[in-house]
Amino acid sequence: MARVVFLNGAFLPADEAKVSVMDRGFLFSDGVYEGVGILGGHLVDNEPHLERFERSMREIQITNPHSRAEWTRLEEELVRRNGVAEGFLYIQITRGVAERDFMFPKAVDPTVMMFTQAKSIANSPAAETGVAVITVEDQRWRRRDIKSVSLLAQVLAKQAAGDAGAQEAWMVEDGFVTEGGSSSAFIVTKAGNIVVRPLSNAILPGITRKSLLRLSKEAGITLEERLFTVQEAYDAAEAFLTSASNFVLPVVSIDGRPVGDGKPGPLTQRLRHLYLDMARVPAEAAQ
């Protein structure tokens, strides 16, 4: 089945979906995006993802062209047209097409685009084995709370990870881990507490992070929302990452040093299952 993408109001075969070279997303990275996991044909945590998307648009002053209900309908239609049972939905909005000029153009429609990717998340091999991460300097701008399409620092960080045989880069600022190139970073102390960096402009407010913190609280697991150093991560009992495209993934080594016994940790596995149980129940059924 040919992939169908959504572009500016139309569902099109991917090879017919074209954007101008004058699009400000292409010229300036002047846009924001969102990514939502798909499980059992349903969007996981879609409401908070759309909420964050709306906030990202507001923060860079792009006028939101759709209501929450319209976004949801368009997303669900795209998932249906592509027959995706499990994977990822990508949504992007840019300020639109205009003659190149740094200042905002007047009266320009934003460019809206969505596509889906089929991907195994619930039974991914990486969830069984865990992943390796390396640490790199965080070279990003100061508004990391905005889900900007400007991802060059993350592209370079994740390529460095790939070159080192790892799957993710944990970015470090002033000795403290900020987050992963495309995921939130967690450690588990030897006392069994979860440690995660508190929200601020230094990190993206991860939606999977938010759900996981709620589930951990409900399960009575102690949580420390605070900064942690690279050394603390080396010394942790367990480590893991969260994202819409992977849910909860064990981290089994950091900079080549095994975390704990070098295998996915028991608390990480428990949290992964708690998250999966939540994700398997479609949002409307859960209400």
User: Is residue 245 part of the contact set for ligand PDD (CB under 6 A)?
Assistant: yes
Place of tokens 């299952």: 273
C-alpha–C-alpha distance, residues 87 and 89, integer Å? 7
Query: Which helix or strand (DSSP H or E) is residue 153 part of?
Result: helix 152-163
CB closer to ligand PDD, 50 vs 62: 50
Q: Closest distance between ligand PDD and the C-beta of residue 191, in Å?
A: 25
Q: Where are the beta strands (DSSP E) in the chain?
A: 4-7, 10-13, 31-39, 42-43, 87-94, 111-118, 131-137, 168-173, 176-180, 184-188, 194-196, 223-225, 238-243, 247-254, 257-258
CB closer to ligand PDD, 116 vs 243: 243
CA dihedral 220, 226, 231, 235 (to 10 degrees): -10
User: Is residue 243 part of the contact set for ligand PDD (CB under 6 A)?
Assistant: yes
Where in 160-219 is the site for ligand PDD (CB under 6 A)? 179, 182-184, 204, 206-209
CB closer to ligand PDD, 178 vs 269: 178
Figure out which of the listed residues 35, 110, 130, 265 binds ligand PDD, where binding follows CB under 6 A: 35
Query: Which helix or strand (DSSP H or E) is residue 213 part of?
Result: helix 207-218
User: Is residue 50 part of the contact set for ligand PDD (CB under 6 A)?
Assistant: no
Figure out which of the listed residues 177, 196, 244, 249 binds ligand PDD, where binding follows CB under 6 A: 244
Q: Which stretch binds ligand PDD (CB under 6 A): 58-66, 213-221, 242-250, 267-275?
A: 242-250
Q: Closest distance between ligand PDD and the C-beta of residue 207, in Å?
A: 4
Cβ pair 238, 221 in contact under 8 A: no
Q: Closest distance between ligand PDD and the C-beta of residue 199, in Å?
A: 11
Q: Do β-strands 168-173 and 131-137 pair in parallel, antiparallel, or remain unpaired?
A: parallel
CB closer to ligand PDD, 24 vs 209: 209
Tell me the torsion sign for CA atoms 155, 238, 34, 275. positive
Q: Closest distance between ligand PDD and the C-beta of residue 235, in Å?
A: 23
Helix (H, G, I), strand (E, B) or coil at 205: coil
263: annotated active-site residue: no
Q: Which stretch binds ligand PDD (CB under 6 A): 15-23, 95-103, 236-244, 268-276?
A: 236-244
C-alpha–C-alpha distance, residues 13 and 5, integer Å? 6
**Two tokens at 282?**
């479609």
CB closer to ligand PDD, 87 vs 206: 206
Considering 147, 158, 210, 263, which one is annotated as catalytic? 147
Q: Closest distance between ligand PDD and the C-beta of residue 140, in Å?
A: 8
- Residues in touch with ligand PDD (CB under 6 A): 35, 179, 182-184, 204, 206-209, 242-245
Query: Which positions are catalytic?
Result: 147
